[in-house]
């Protein structure tokens, strides 16, 4: 493979579990600087993935970093699992389940029909454990201090919310959605709509616009080929 990182490249990375998006950018930046024997190189990502999520990250280098916003605005597709019957403060497994709910009343038709209710334009509240800013401060910093924060709902679009399989308490799904969608919040709201509770237990991003996970590299594989 041949790259011109300073002129600008688009790199598709399959982010692994527990890596932050910043970890990926930092690792690539340092590897490129070392390879080219330079002190500075612009590297950025187009759309954060949580540490407990895996999948597609679009990385831009050099002059291509000017196009990051264009990539960030593209629709995204995710697959994952929602676990019914309990909620967590972070809406995923970054924190432990702390409230439990009945699930005996939930059946397959309810699950499928409830998913359809979320399709289209909806208003969603970002999780308190998120990088969204409130008065200039990241929400997760306020959450870790135990502060109670009033978070405004934002309009998003769920293009489709498909239930792939049901093996209670777990549900496997695919979601295609607009920029700014939090799948963790979708899982939490989904549990409420079922008169129960739910949290996101697994997440993988499989596409960003026309960019596919099948065309991506594991980060260490890519670095070895720089």
Catalytic positions, written as ranges: 50
Buried-state track 201-220, b at ≥16 Cβ within 10 A, e below 16: bbbbbbbbeebebeebbebe
Distance from the Cα of residue 10 to its chain's centroid: 19
Instruction: Give which of 194, 172, 199, 167 is closest to 183, Cα–Cα.
Output: 199
Tell me how far apart the 2 most distant CA atoms of the chain are, in Å.
Answer: 62
- Compute the distance between CA of residue 175 and CA of residue 127 in angstroms, rounded to an integer: 18
DSSP letter at 204?
Answer: E
Q: Are 139 and 125 in contact (CB under 8 A)?
A: no
- Compute the distance between CA of residue 173 and CA of residue 164 in angstroms, rounded to an integer: 5
- Compute the distance between CA of residue 44 and CA of residue 65 in angstroms, rounded to an integer: 6
């Amino acid at each position: 493979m041949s790259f011109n990182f300073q002129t600008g490249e688009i790199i598709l990375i399959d982010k692994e579990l527990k890596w932050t998006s910043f970890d990926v950018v930092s690792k690539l930046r340092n590897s490129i600087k070392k390879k080219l024997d330079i002190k500075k190189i612009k590297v950025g990502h187009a759309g954060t993935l949580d540490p407990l999520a895996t999948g597609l990250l679009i990385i831009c280098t050099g002059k291509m970093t000017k196009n990051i916003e264009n990539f960030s605005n593209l629709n995204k597709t995710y697959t994952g699992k929602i676990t019914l019957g309990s909620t967590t403060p972070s809406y995923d497994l970054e924190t432990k389940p702390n409230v439990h709910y009945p699930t005996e009343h939930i059946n397959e038709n309810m699950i499928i029909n409830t998913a359809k209710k979320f399709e289209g334009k909806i208003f969603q509240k970002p999780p308190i454990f998120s990088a969204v800013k409130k008065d200039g401060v990241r929400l997760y910093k306020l959450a870790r201090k135990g502060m109670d924060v009033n978070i405004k709902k934002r309009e998003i679009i769920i293009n489709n919310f498909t239930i792939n399989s049901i093996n209670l308490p777990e549900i496997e799904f695919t979601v295609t959605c607009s920029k700014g969608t939090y799948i963790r919040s979708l899982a939490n709201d989904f549990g409420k709509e079922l008169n129960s509770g739910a949290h996101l237990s697994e997440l993988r991003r499989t596409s960003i616009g026309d960019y596919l996970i099948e065309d991506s590299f594991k980060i260490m594989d890519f670095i070895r080929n720089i």
